[in-house]
Every structure is written in structure tokens, then in C-alpha cells.
Structure 1
């Protein structure tokens, strides 16, 4: 898989500017990966199993679900850690996703929501690949590259971004602990390193491990969710290295990295595809379900459409909760409100666990199109963002969150009055109403 040397536009004027530009790209990649992995995991049917010749274990849909969901959680930790790295360089948090230039080879592939199948797994394998794939995996990796190209063309490694970041955070060109094997992926780029005097900003704003239910830095990378603070160049290198241990670098242990895990699922999916009469492991969910007009997978079923609009609103609220949680210091409140940092990260978890997860469970059972057949394509959470950039200053972020709460209130009322929600759906709407009321009370 050839790697094209990218160009940053505009060209950075210092190592610090380059680091900020790459960290923004990393944030977009992590945020996109998290949404795509969650969508893929949600497409899986529960409790499906099959014994296949050549495997010493049954292939289990529940195992795939747990594995992909756990990877998505680790990507969430990476996203928060990247925010800490940005803050340490005195840059604003960055949670945009769809506004990046898709022509840049630094992005693994265009954002696309897909259920679990061979092509989507192939993309995940390629994006998470190390610089040097072990000999025992090279044949299957080459096949995955071909499968991915069927869908999207060349797929780039996310690891290039982190390799260059580690190099920038070194004190000089000589490798440093803890990643002595790292190689500068772009030696034609400027030969500079971050000035230690231009780091370690915003210590009171950086996300803490306990706030985001993260793991200790010494916990094993197989299961840890790393949320790491950055105090200097050494801790910046440690943060980048820890991310690399899990998914975006060539330093992970065999069987532990995202690459290894996705390659295992890819092999199992390939075996299922070759097994006559194998049961379906994933639902017939449409690629890229959308609330927009005239798209290839526009949701036209009225009930599914309003639920999908609500899901988009809650997803955007989640991103604002994260941004505000790291825009407010450890003490005090957000300007003009009674909301503390604790409120924002608590609301973020309410969205992740109490809202978006059950919304996904509802939407993946609803038809995509009006009058669709029982076996027709299903909808799902679109994870859509507005066309403009998300706000970057606290005042605008607070207003954005207020506006999304108003949208949520209107959509919930419409669902309740028009679409006869089930008892389970009523409970979910009540849960959201409670969160919204708290936000209104705190933000005014």
C-alpha cells in the first residue's frame, strides 16, 4: 500500500503550527472512526454463531460487537487525549469532522457509515495498519487492501499522523523513549521540533482521566481507554505513544492493536462469506443513512426521519458537551451560566450511554424508505454535522448547545404527538427531557 506524501495547506511556519495542524487532522480522524465503528457495531445481529472449519472457536456476532464497541471507546479516549495535546500547545479544542479536505492523503478514507461486511472491515484494517505488517499477515492484508480499493480507492494509514507527531515532540532527530523505533514518515517536510517553551499551556483545562472514565497510563493497551494529560514534551510523547500502542502506530503487541483485531474479524467474515448457508451476522442497514434530500440513502419513512433528526441533534449536543468540558477550567463556571465543568462531562456521558446508544437501537430497526418491504434497507443514526464549522469559542458553544436543546424539545414533542411511541421509546424521550431540563436550568 503506497503512501503519498501529503502537503499541509496552508503551510505551517513553525513546528508548533505543524503539530496543531496534524492534531486537528488526528481529532477529525478519531471522531470519524468512532462514529463509523459505532455504526458498524450497531449493525450486528445479536446471538448469531457458527462453527467454521479451520477455526478453533465458533464465530460469534456478540464477540464482534464487543470488540468493535471497545475499539470505538478507545477512539473516544484518543479523541480526548488529542484535545489535551491541542490545549497544551495553546490551541482551541477541535471536534469537527466533516469539514476536512478529503483530497488530503492524511485522511484514511472519506467518511462513510457502513454495516459490517467484508469491504467495510477491509477499510478499517487498512486505516489501522502499521508501517510494517508482520509477514504472517501480509497476504491477508494485501487482500484487504484490494477489498478496500473496490470501495474507496487508496486507503491511507492513520499512523502516519502519529509518527510525525512523535517526531515533532522529540527534542532532536535522534529517537527518544518510549518509541525508539519510530520513523519520520515525511523526511521531506521541514526538519524542526516543538520548542519546549511553547508547550504546557492550559493545565487547568485539560481533561482528566477520572472525568472520562479512562484507564491508568500503566493499564494494558488491550483493554485500556487512555485519557492522558500533557505537561511537557515528554508527556506529549507518552500520549502519542500510548495511542500508537492501541491503533495508530507500529508499536503495538500482536493481537492487541486495532489492526490485529479488525484483521481477525475480517478473516472470520471472509470465512462466513465462503460458507454455504451461513446465517446473516449483520442487519440490512443502508450505507450512509441521511436526513438530507435526494441522497442515495435519504430516510423517507416519516417516523424514522424524525427519530434520525433527533439522533443528529443529540450527537451534536455530545460534541458540544465535550468541547465545553475542556473549555472550562477545573474551578468556576461557564460564562453567564451556573454550569460547571462537571456538568458538561456528565451530560456527555448521558448522551453517549443514555441517548445515542438507545437511539441507535431504535433506528436500526426502522425502515429507511416510506412503504419499504420487511426485508428492505433499514435506517440508523446518521451522525450528521452541519456544513459550517462547529463553534470554537465558549460563548458560541453555549449558544449552540442551547439551540440544539430547543431542537430536541421540538422533535420530542413531534414524536410524542404524531408517532405513538412505544413504552420503551417513551422512557427514552423522558430521559432526554430530563437532561434537556437540566441544561436549560444551568445555561439559562
Structure 2
């Protein structure tokens, strides 16, 4: 029953392919990304078995056939990659939103300020939905018996982390960034090019397809984010048939995050195939749109912003809504990729402050999803403090650091939030009493760093840094009271 429903869903999403034409006129013309030409393709070319057989026979594999997930370990590995992907996409949207100018003092007209505020609001809404998606993936991981996954590669992301067509990068607001974001969020079957800056990936060698008898999981090619999640949906159905639904969904229901503690009505507990499917549908439909209706999904909203941006640039070629932000790091990158390193001491201190708060936030979320003996009140405190740190600390710091100079490596450039993780760690603090002590202790240490930043700042940053300092102390007190 479930298998036939899932296969039917997959066919409905892939029988029709739409080709999106790139813009051909000057920037002032309407963006042609929504002009589509229908291409028919048969449903029989899809499916896990057909994908493997075609590849073994030397035929070109269908690029949007479901991934091969033959055992729980492969499913957990793939869900982990989905969690990393949602986490990185979230950081990308935040970086772009924080790079926008905010007032007439930065050279904008009142009309332009209103336009930019609308773009900032939309990007932050999309980022909030990416947080929801990250939480839903944690629920899926928990449901099949796995630990939460909040670890991810640092930026710049090594090329081996994802398929060649899925590039993660911190990009300031602008045409390049908007085209890249739309490319990542495009619906299955949409043929469109990434921004030119990412065009070289098209020459990459495809990743190997997993064999049905392969015991070790590995990264497989997926063309879109929707393609990844449809594969996970197919894998869940397949494993439920193979193991039995009760044997597949073995995680404790009490460890599921829901709207009881977080504010998203769509955050549902995953306990069986039906709820797993609904969680995946929420992620896919918010990103690419439901049944081809993408205008209110992330993809459509990004295309709308791009249209407005190109129109505004045509009306006023001098219009520049973006601060001179670059993705600069506090420390040399761990990957083989180059990145500018900040040399201005005050910028380093403020960036480390943002990164340290971000680290504590990940620790608290990990503790929430892998809690042991916490009471309902303590779980509510973890959720409230996590959301509070995002709103009261990371958001204002994100807007502040984009006004701070990088230093001699990039004269005239300012630093964007790099979301730099200090070291590779899973962020799970496994022992309840120790975990709460460590989280409170770290928040108070971070509050002391915020105090030093406030005392060393120029007058225009005094108010926001004072509010950040007060918020950190307030949230540390909440943790202390709860345990």
C-alpha cells in the first residue's frame, strides 16, 4: 500500500520536466526564469532498481532517480547529509540577509529602504523555515533510532561534502546569490543553470551509485534538494517493507520536537510512515512548492526578489543595497579552499562572540533532541533559550559584524557572519547534570566576552552590544533556574 503510494508520488513529481530559460535581455527586462517549456518523459525510467540496472549496463543513469537506501545505516547517513544541508542553507540565507544595508545613512533613498527591508524580511522568513526543516530532519533521525545531527563542515565547504551540483557558499545579497539560492531550491525536473560563478561544477564526474548489497553507506548524487528528500521517502517505504514499520521506527516518541515547545505548527512528531511522509512533504513543498505551484515557496519568493532587484538596478544603476561584505574567517580554513582571514582585533572579537553563541545554541539543541531525564519545564527552557539566543543575540550580532572591517587582506571590505565552528564536534553533551552546568558556564563566559566588546566599541555600537550582553546574562539565568 505505502510503496504504491510513494511510487505514484514520485512519478507525479517527475513525469513532467520544465526547462527554465535564462534571461536574454538587459537587466531591466522581466526575469525570464519563469518562462517554461514542457518536456515529456516517461514514468518507467524512474525507480531504485532501474537506476542501478541502467548504470551497470553502461547506460546513462537517470539523474533524478531515487538514491539506493538498502539498510538503516544508509538511511541514517543520508538523513545526516540532509541535516548538514539544511544547516548550511540556513547559514547562507542568514549571511545574505545580514549583508543588506539598513537605513538612509548607508546611501539609500526612503523608497529603497522600504524595498530592502522587504527583501530582508523575506530572507529571514525563509531562514526560519530552514530552521523548521532542520528540526524535522532531527525528528526523522530520532524516529529511526539515530542521534541528532548538528555538526557540519565549516565554510568554505569542501567540494567532497556534497554532489557537484550542490554547492554551499556564503554569498552577499545580489544577483549571483539570488540565482544560486534559486538554483538550490529549484523544483525537481526544472532545468536551469546555476550562477556563472558556479558553472564549473557541471564538468564534475558523477558520484558512484550504491549497490543493493553494499554494507557501507556513501555519498550519492542528487540533483536537487527535493530529489534528496524524495529518495529518503522512498528509502523509508522500502525499509518499512523490509524490516517492518515497528522495527524501523524505534526511537522514543518523547524525544520528538513539536509545536508544544517550539512555535512552528508544522513541527510534527515522526513516529511512523505517515508522519514521516508528512514531515518530508512539508520540507519539499516549502522549498520548491506543492505540485508545481512554486510561487509562494522558497523558489518562487527568491525569483520574485530577483525580479525586484534587477528592476531597481535598472531604474537606478547606482543603487547598491549590499554592504561590502566578504566571507572572512577568524582562523585559517580547515579545507583546501582559500578564504580571507580577519586581522582587525575588534572584528575578530565580535566574530568570535557570534560564533561562540552559535556553538552554545547547537549544544542546547543537541541536548533537547537527545535528552534523558529532563522535565517538560526543562525542555521548554532549552527550546525558549535556543530561540531567544537566535533572536536576541545572533540576529543583532549578524547585522553588526557586517559593518566591521576585515583588515589588510581585504581593504574596504567588511566581515560577514562566518558561523565558524571552533572544532569538529557533534555538540551532544550526554550527561544531564554536566550538560546543564556546561551550557550555563559557557553562556556566562560568552557574556563576559560581550562585555569586553561593549567596553571597547565605538559609540554607535554601544546600544546593540549592551542589549546583547544583557540578553546573554538573562538566558544564562534561565538555564540556572531550570536546573
Aligned match of 2:268: 228
Alignment check: 8 A CA contact 1:301 1:371 kept:
no
Alignment check: 8 A CA contact 1:391 1:400 kept:
no
User: Which whole-Å CA distance do the structure 2 matches of 1:72 and 1:106 have between them?
Assistant: 22
Residues 367-412 of structure 1: CA distance to partner in whole angstroms, max 9, x if unpaired?
Answer: 2216987xx2112322111331223352385576356335414423
Alignment check: 8 A CA contact 2:135 2:267 kept:
yes
Matched pairs, number: 392
2:297 corresponds to which of 240, 257, 274: 257
User: Which whole-Å CA distance do the structure 2 matches of 1:7 and 1:231 have between them?
Assistant: 23
Aligned match of 2:6: none
User: Which whole-Å CA distance do the structure 2 matches of 1:170 and 1:85 have between them?
Assistant: 13
Residues 201-254 of structure 1: CA distance to partner in whole angstroms, max 9, x if unpaired?
Answer: 210110011311002xxxxxxxxxx31211211111111112111115773523
Alignment check: 8 A CA contact 1:128 1:258 kept:
yes
Aligned match of 2:119: 64
Aligned match of 2:329: 290
- Shift of residue 328, structure 1, vs aligned partner: 2.2
1:64-143 superposed matches below 5 A: 64-98=119-153, 102-106=159-163, 109-133=166-190, 141-142=192-193
User: Which whole-Å CA distance do the structure 2 matches of 1:232 and 1:359 have between them?
Assistant: 40
Alignment check: 8 A CA contact 2:258 2:269 kept:
yes
Aligned match of 1:30: 86
User: Which whole-Å CA distance do the structure 1 matches of 2:450 and 2:202 have between them?
Assistant: 37
TM-score (norm 1): 0.77
1:346 corresponds to which of 384, 388, 396: 384
Q: Which has the higher helix share?
A: 2
Seen in structure 2, the aligned counterparts of structure 1 residues 152 and 117 have a Cα distance that, compared at 3 Å, is farther
User: Which whole-Å CA distance do the structure 2 matches of 1:167 and 1:25 have between them?
Assistant: 16
2:351 corresponds to which of 308, 318, 341: 308
Seen in structure 2, the aligned counterparts of structure 1 residues 147 and 303 have a Cα distance that, compared at 3 Å, is closer
Aligned match of 1:363: 401
Gaps of 5+ in 1: 53-57, 174-191, 216-225, 334-338
TM-score (norm 2): 0.71
User: Which whole-Å CA distance do the structure 2 matches of 1:194 and 1:249 have between them?
Assistant: 32
Alignment check: 8 A CA contact 1:311 1:356 kept:
yes
Aligned match of 1:212: 262
User: Which whole-Å CA distance do the structure 2 matches of 1:15 and 1:320 have between them?
Assistant: 29
1:149 has 2:204 as partner? no
State which drifts further: 260-269 or 24-33: 260-269
Seen in structure 2, the aligned counterparts of structure 1 residues 302 and 64 have a Cα distance that, compared at 3 Å, is same
User: Which whole-Å CA distance do the structure 2 matches of 1:207 and 1:357 have between them?
Assistant: 23
Seen in structure 2, the aligned counterparts of structure 1 residues 147 and 252 have a Cα distance that, compared at 3 Å, is farther
Aligned match of 1:392: 428
Residues 237-287 of structure 1: CA distance to partner in whole angstroms, max 9, x if unpaired?
Answer: 11111211111577352302211222222333344455552411211111x
State which drifts further: 433-442 or 86-95: 433-442
User: Which whole-Å CA distance do the structure 1 matches of 2:162 and 2:351 have between them?
Assistant: 31
Residues 114-138 of structure 1: CA distance to partner in whole angstroms, max 9, x if unpaired?
Answer: 21122211221111111122xxxx6
Question: Could you say which structure has the larger radius of gyration?
Answer: 2
CA RMSD of aligned residues (A): 3.6
Alignment check: 8 A CA contact 1:205 1:330 kept:
no
1:174-193 superposed matches below 5 A: none
